[in-house]
Structure 1
Amino acid sequence: MKQENIGFGGNWSAEWNSVLSTELNLYYSQYNVYAIDYKLETNQQLNQENEVIDTGLKLKSTYILNDHLKLLNGYQFTEVGILNGTEVSKPEFSRTKKDVLLNHAIFNEVEYHDSSLFIRAGIRSNYFQKFEKFLVEPRLNVRYKWSNGFAMKLQGEFKNQSATQIIDFQYDFLGVENRRWTLANEESIPISESKQVSFGVSYNKNDFIIDIEGFYKVVDGITVPNQGFYNNFQFINAIGEYNVKGVELLINKSTNKYGAWLSYTYSINNYKFRTLTPSVFPNNLDIRHSVSLAFNYDIFESLGVSIGGIWRSGQPYTKTIEGNEMVQDGNNTYVNFDSPNSENINDFMRLDASINYNINFKNSKLSAKFGVLNLFDRENDINKYYEVNPNDFNTIIENNNKSLGFTPNLSLRIGF
């Protein structure tokens, strides 16, 4: 198996006068994954390829009206091409498909700021040439500072995505990667559209920060094959949406010698597929509670230590129906799943630690870092699913994916 990533870009900018400037960006990126799998017992060779090429340009102009107000306008062009290929020697089978999608976008923004208020409002108009489809996306970012370190913020935006990853259960890349990039076709795979809004209040004074924010997001145009279900919907093609809502809290205190962080997130994340039963059920990533802690301390100017931990509730999985774990359909055996994502794996907990040492030379600097991931070697489940035993079709097997255990690492960096 071989994976490759190639990318490069260029930038040109000009200031025509004190109020008008222009910037041009060009880029090219290419991603390839190629695998050959040879099965000696059947004398069968399987070749697979997935290639993504993304090219584009962005032209942006900024016009300053006065000390508080400026306008931003521009044009962006993107071309995305995705190739998927599969070739089997016995029995002979070959399939190669390449899709290309062009997108033209015009964007306009106005920005206002003074000592207490910042507002950026804009709109982006997209035209997908292949489908003759327009998408209009408004965006808003507002921040208002009160006295004594208090501030309010409001953000909202619409966005789209034309490339998605499909989970291929039949042909994976040597069992390592079964996600294939593919383009929207506006039939079985629509362009996904997201809408999100957030509102929050923060306090920032004397190097002490408290930030609390509520958020809501809905993404329409997702498909069952790109979610990676291990339940009764695994081989069904349906189009739906998911929505997530919640609140985030961040507390941070820092000084010249130390810094400490605490963050907490509460969220509810659900799918909605109108053609499935049930139509609403928990998202694969529905993690209700998540807490992160971090602390760093500089013992000396050249020596520092850090420690951090994370705890989160377990993500959902679909269990089997107890006492009736399998169903027979002719010569085929299937797992008999219960309601989708109705159970949760055990909570996740991990503690990490590291020590940093810096040495300054006359014309260079050496930085050494030794760290330990999962300091107490806690065994954490990160996924659980069931499947028919490929060696015995009369039984099913339970798969439990684990996170990394006790993992030391060492890094050295030299700067000139």
Structure 2
Amino acid sequence: MKIKLSILFICLAMSIFSQEKVDISFIDASLLTVLKKAETSFGVKFSFNAEVIEKKTFSFKKRNCLLIHLITEIERQTPLVFNQINERYYYITINKNHIPIDYNLLNEVLVTSYVTSAINKKKNSSISINPQQLGPLPGLTEPDVLESLKIIPGVQSPNETASGIYIRGGTPNQNLVLWDGIKMYSYGHFFGMLSAFNPYTTKEIILSKSGTEARYGNRISGVIDIKTKENIPEKITGNFGFNMTHADAFLNIPFSDKTSVSVSARRSISDLIKTFTFNKLFARVFSTFDSNQKDNNIIDKEIKFNRVNQLDFYDYTTKFVYKPSENESFHLSFLHTGNKMYNDLVVPEYEDHYNDKLNIKNTGVSVNWKKISNEKTTHNVKGYYSNYNLAYKGAYSYLDKYLDLVSSKDNAINDFGFTYNLNYSFNKQSDLFLGYDFSSTKAKYELDYSYAIEGENKYSSNEKDTGTNNTHSVFGEYQYDDNDWNINTGVRFNYFSKIDKFVLEPRLYFEKKLHKNFNFKASFEQKHQALIQLIEFQTSSLGFDLENEIWTQVNNDNIPLQKSLQTSYGIIFNQKNWTINIESYYKMVSGMTSLTSGYNDQTDDFSNGKGKVFGVDLLISKHFNNYKTWINYSYTKNRFKFLDLENIYFPANHDITHYFSWSQAYKLKNYEFSLGWIYRTGNPYTAVKEFNTDSDGNPYIDLDSDNINAHRLPNYHRLDASMSYSFNFSQKWKGKLGFSILNIYNQKNIFNRYYTAIPVRNLNNEIEYQLKQVDKYSLGITPNIVFRVSF
């Protein structure tokens, strides 16, 4: 009897011990080390073949971690499967169909599923997205780095592009976009229709909407921090594939157990074959230009014309990884993206000639060294260089050279900098993060524009500017985390040399557990921006209004330093695969100009203003085994005010009052399906008050400045769907076939409306101008197909 009681007591003790909560912290540790630590901490035993865990590493950090949490995370990151025999003993096997997941260890560990298992909220309020785990999103055949952000409440794209990311009322140029620490100034291909970042090299995307950490600076809206893969494989791995717009390939090559090099390349295929998908995207990009020609019965082929046009894009990356030990790593990353456009249209009957050439490049390189000195101290040194160039030339002659227009635009940025970070852990609950950040940004632009009527020069202008700003920043963050409180508070102190100004940026985020299923959260942040984009109206007024923004520095004259202040608060509910997240926010922005936001399109005069944004973001998601569904709703009231434009608050150009989307995803064996519907308020626009010509016969359009953006376009809605099928060629080679449809019921959505004057010949063969309303339409029904192979 005593023996039985002793055995029962030992088993009970082991069961209780295995439920012990311990603090876990591993960074690229060998799995053997991890398993031995787990055996000691939780009182369990693992049986396994040494070859199963050979050369496998693991990164994870969690306070008060249970054994089940650790096992789940190991299975998520590796192909290992833990099979439980009893309370104490486990044996480990291999899942041959497992897709490896890279894990990026930060101080802010993942705490809960946010939308799906691939989208999680971190303890510092940011959102972590793993594009490899997402599966097909509605309307996409492949993961897209920027498109994937749009399933997050508060992230919208009023112009229906991948790169047009508006975060809580902020414009795309107000977002800080980083790729392996490189500041990016061009984010899209096909004029923003596709992301410029290869999703198959991406390990993690970190999105910050509010409560931004003090380490991020010089942008007043959101942060999109893209991190690429840094694992060292045992053997060469990679994938390649194509869809109806481009082809790509990725390779990860190990040179030793401490060194590897990965390379990737993507390229458009439109010069080889113009697919139905390309034709849809092409029509969307050239919709404004072609609309003008339809008025002359050209594009619909009632009048003969000759046309040559091409849209090409490419990007390629390289990354060198060196890990001399488990506590030290060195990364060298390189990225180059490019977009080229050529358009030439000749109409012999009118002797009209249109010619456009556009070339955009963004090149960057970064280095990253990280060293864990001891259990308390971690050092990190980063450096980067980024170069952006945009060159545009356009020449237009209308109606037998009655009107000749010539324009050119050049915009360039050279940006380099470095950062030193020190992370010190006081104890299990408290961490201190200190750093210094330096960046030097040189921006220049030159605009040339002229037009002549009947050979007589009527107007010419040349505008250019060059400026360099050196930014010195020191910052600190304090993090506290226990079972009930999570606090991340920090401050950033900046000096901008170009305007000789010091600014202070306090940041705060805290989260309090109210109940085991309820958390309350709140944040406050203040940020500044010294590099902005202005709308360039001269080239855009020619009817080809793509890439009409230019980067320029702030000054002490007419372009002030931009400043934002944002507060937010909300509640998170998690229970039985239900997630409900509701958050309200208020943002104030100052230092705006009318040219910055594109309101004053009749003059080059600057007008200073400010803005205020109030919004509510709601997310409801639910998982049912292999089925998951989520609802995303945002209410936004985005208002601006300018001294010379009515001087009262009016709707911003990108003000979307109501945004609703319902998405669903279902997995059945090797098949994955997704369906999503979007419905939102139409974009605002300003109507014409008067259209006339002056004494010289030149047209002018007088917009209704007393009612700026007082009208709304029809509400926007569309239905998208995707499906994919995964299969194996062999044990090593795997394949995937996918199909998607955007805008299934072919809804004709208008996302922008403006007015222009076009010259026409009347019955007396005289030139006169007519007012034209230009509507920019969204994509119609657009199918796509993808085929991929991985090994």
Question: What range describes the TM-score normalised by the shorter chain of this pair?
Answer: over 0.9
- Considering fraction of residues, name the structure with more helix: 2
Distance in 1 separating the partners of 2:501 and 2:613: 27
Q: 1:230 to 1:85 in 2, by over 3 A?
A: closer
Counterparts of residues 238-277 of structure 1 (less than 5 Å): 238-277=607-646
Instruction: Please report how far the alpha carbon of residue 43 of structure 1 lies from its aligned counterpart in structure 2 after TM superposition.
Output: 8.0
Q: 1:196 to 1:190 in 2, by over 3 A?
A: same
| Secondary structure of the structure 2 residue equivalent to 1:170 | helix
Q: Which of residues 18, 23, 27 is equivalent to 2:384?
A: 27
Equivalent residue, structure 2, for 1:14: 371
Q: Which of residues 185, 205, 215 is equivalent to 2:575?
A: 205
Q: Quick check: 1:63–1:71 contact (8 Å CA) kept in 2?
A: yes
Instruction: Please report how far the alpha carbon of residue 237 of structure 1 lies from its aligned counterpart in structure 2 after TM superposition.
Output: 1.4
| Secondary structure of the structure 2 residue equivalent to 1:177 | coil
Q: 1:315 to 1:43 in 2, by over 3 A?
A: closer
1:216 aligns with 2:589: no
Distance in 2 separating the partners of 1:341 and 1:294: 31
Q: Quick check: 1:145–1:151 contact (8 Å CA) kept in 2?
A: yes
* Residue identity opposite 2:784 in structure 1: N
Instruction: Please report how far the alpha carbon of residue 191 of structure 1 lies from its aligned counterpart in structure 2 after TM superposition.
Output: 1.4
Deviations 1:10-34 (A, max 9, x none): 1001122221111011111112111
Q: 1:200 to 1:334 in 2, by over 3 A?
A: same
Instruction: Please report how far the alpha carbon of residue 230 of structure 1 lies from its aligned counterpart in structure 2 after TM superposition.
Output: 6.4
Distance in 1 separating the partners of 2:422 and 2:443: 31
Equivalent residue, structure 2, for 1:97: 465
Distance in 2 separating the partners of 1:407 and 1:165: 31
TM-score (normalizing by structure 1): 0.93
Q: Quick check: 1:83–1:98 contact (8 Å CA) kept in 2?
A: yes
Equivalent residue, structure 2, for 1:49: 410
| Secondary structure of the structure 2 residue equivalent to 1:171 | helix
Equivalent residue, structure 2, for 1:169: 537
Instruction: Please report how far the alpha carbon of residue 180 of structure 1 lies from its aligned counterpart in structure 2 after TM superposition.
Output: 1.1
Structure 2: 5+ residue stretches without partners: 1-357, 452-456, 761-766
* Residue identity opposite 1:149 in structure 2: N
Distance in 2 separating the partners of 1:393 and 1:244: 43
Instruction: Please report how far the alpha carbon of residue 256 of structure 1 lies from its aligned counterpart in structure 2 after TM superposition.
Output: 3.1
Equivalent residue, structure 2, for 1:333: 699
Distance in 2 separating the partners of 1:244 and 1:94: 36
Deviations 1:159-214 (A, max 9, x none): 11111111111135954321111111132111111111110011011111011111
1:81 aligns with 2:81: no
Larger Rg: 2
- Bigger shift: 99-108 or 329-338? 329-338
Q: Quick check: 2:591–2:609 contact (8 Å CA) kept in 1?
A: yes
Q: Which of residues 423, 429, 433 is equivalent to 1:72?
A: 433
Equivalent residue, structure 1, for 2:566: 196
Deviations 1:114-151 (A, max 9, x none): 01210011100000122220110000010112323111
| Secondary structure of the structure 1 residue equivalent to 2:595 | helix
Distance in 2 separating the partners of 1:274 and 1:44: 33
Distance in 1 separating the partners of 2:733 and 2:359: 36
Distance in 1 separating the partners of 2:617 and 2:661: 11
Distance in 2 separating the partners of 1:296 and 1:170: 46
Distance in 2 separating the partners of 1:94 and 1:147: 64
Equivalent residue, structure 2, for 1:374: 743
Distance in 2 separating the partners of 1:393 and 1:13: 67
Instruction: Please report how far the alpha carbon of residue 262 of structure 1 lies from its aligned counterpart in structure 2 after TM superposition.
Output: 0.4
| Secondary structure of the structure 2 residue equivalent to 1:336 | strand
Q: 1:74 to 1:34 in 2, by over 3 A?
A: same
Q: 1:398 to 1:95 in 2, by over 3 A?
A: closer
Q: 1:141 to 1:114 in 2, by over 3 A?
A: same
Instruction: Please report how far the alpha carbon of residue 2 of structure 1 lies from its aligned counterpart in structure 2 after TM superposition.
Output: 1.1
Q: Quick check: 2:579–2:622 contact (8 Å CA) kept in 1?
A: yes
* Residue identity opposite 1:180 in structure 2: I
* Residue identity opposite 1:65 in structure 2: F
Instruction: Please report how far the alpha carbon of residue 49 of structure 1 lies from its aligned counterpart in structure 2 after TM superposition.
Output: 1.4
Identity %: 32
Instruction: Please report how far the alpha carbon of residue 413 of structure 1 lies from its aligned counterpart in structure 2 after TM superposition.
Output: 2.8
* Residue identity opposite 1:106 in structure 2: V
* Residue identity opposite 1:250 in structure 2: L
Q: 1:200 to 1:350 in 2, by over 3 A?
A: same
- Bigger shift: 157-166 or 326-335? 326-335
Instruction: Please report how far the alpha carbon of residue 95 of structure 1 lies from its aligned counterpart in structure 2 after TM superposition.
Output: 5.2
Instruction: Please report how far the alpha carbon of residue 255 of structure 1 lies from its aligned counterpart in structure 2 after TM superposition.
Output: 3.3
| Secondary structure of the structure 2 residue equivalent to 1:225 | helix
Equivalent residue, structure 1, for 2:501: 133
Distance in 2 separating the partners of 1:212 and 1:78: 37
Q: Which of residues 593, 596, 600 is equivalent to 1:226?
A: 596
* Residue identity opposite 1:346 in structure 2: P
Q: 1:69 to 1:318 in 2, by over 3 A?
A: same
Instruction: Please report how far the alpha carbon of residue 355 of structure 1 lies from its aligned counterpart in structure 2 after TM superposition.
Output: 0.5
* Residue identity opposite 1:34 in structure 2: A
- Bigger shift: 400-409 or 173-182? 173-182
Distance in 2 separating the partners of 1:297 and 1:226: 43
- Bigger shift: 390-399 or 134-143? 390-399
* Residue identity opposite 2:595 in structure 1: P
Q: 1:154 to 1:315 in 2, by over 3 A?
A: same
| Secondary structure of the structure 2 residue equivalent to 1:277 | strand
Deviations 1:24-52 (A, max 9, x none): 11111112111232446478764431112
Distance in 2 separating the partners of 1:28 and 1:414: 33
Q: Quick check: 2:449–2:538 contact (8 Å CA) kept in 1?
A: no
TM-score (normalizing by structure 2): 0.50
1:408 aligns with 2:791: no
* Residue identity opposite 1:261 in structure 2: W
Q: 1:375 to 1:234 in 2, by over 3 A?
A: farther
Q: Quick check: 1:311–1:348 contact (8 Å CA) kept in 2?
A: yes
| Secondary structure of the structure 2 residue equivalent to 1:404 | coil
Q: 1:115 to 1:153 in 2, by over 3 A?
A: same
- Bigger shift: 86-95 or 150-159? 86-95
Equivalent residue, structure 1, for 2:247: none
Instruction: Please report how far the alpha carbon of residue 96 of structure 1 lies from its aligned counterpart in structure 2 after TM superposition.
Output: 4.5
* Residue identity opposite 1:143 in structure 2: E
| Secondary structure of the structure 2 residue equivalent to 1:376 | coil
> How many residues of Structure 1 are paired with residues of Structure 2 in the alignment?
411
Q: Quick check: 1:259–1:296 contact (8 Å CA) kept in 2?
A: yes
